[in-house]
Amino acid sequence: WSGMKRLLYETPSIADLQCLLLTNRQPFGPVSLIWPATHFGSMALDKGLLTDLGITHVFYSDMSISYCGVEASDHPQFDLSQYFCSTASFIKAALTQNGKFDFLDLFLTNFSALVLAFLMMCENLTITDAIIAVRLNRDICPNSGFLEHLRDLVQKFGVG
């Protein structure tokens, strides 16, 4: 059935994706479990809290844990897709090693798009299913440019 579902799936428009992202928004705490062993937090988190949560991999620096830095501008014209493969590989490696992963994010739209790409590429979710999965536990709203990159990921590579 999964293969048939994929054949029938039509990638939503940017407007439809934005509508999905803006529907039923709700507040969440400073750290949210958005996928097994994958958290989304804010830059305001302290190292002690990360240690208490058992986080072993983050997108951040200045800690004695594995991290992946992404120099990305939070602007619709920025090509965030250049980080999709490396980010997905980093997250997948962390999860494969039974680590816990956290996105420490100052610019929520950047990293929410990266986690959506990971879910599409590594967990085989559609863009819609990825958004729904994350929004169950975290309010996200990637900008229109980043949504377009995710739609391109579907159209160019058959991902999600």
**Could you report the per-residue pLDDT of 18-68, keeping only the tens digit for each?**
998 888 887 777 677 777 777 676 644 566 776 777 776 665 545 555 666
In a domain, 1, yes or no: no
Which residues form the domain of 84? 12-69+80-157
Domain assignment present for residue 111? The answer is yes
Question: Residue 149 domain-assigned?
Answer: yes
pLDDT at residue number 41: 67
Q: Please state the pTM of the whole predicted model.
A: 0.63
Structure tokens at 95: 């999860």
Domains of the chain: total: 1
> Is the model's pLDDT at 17 over the cut of 70?
yes
- Burial 33-70, CB ≥16 within 10 A → b, else e: ebbebbbbbeeebeeeebeeeebbbbbbeeeebeebeb
Note the pLDDT tens digit of each residue in 128-149. Answer: 999 999 888 888 888 899 999 9
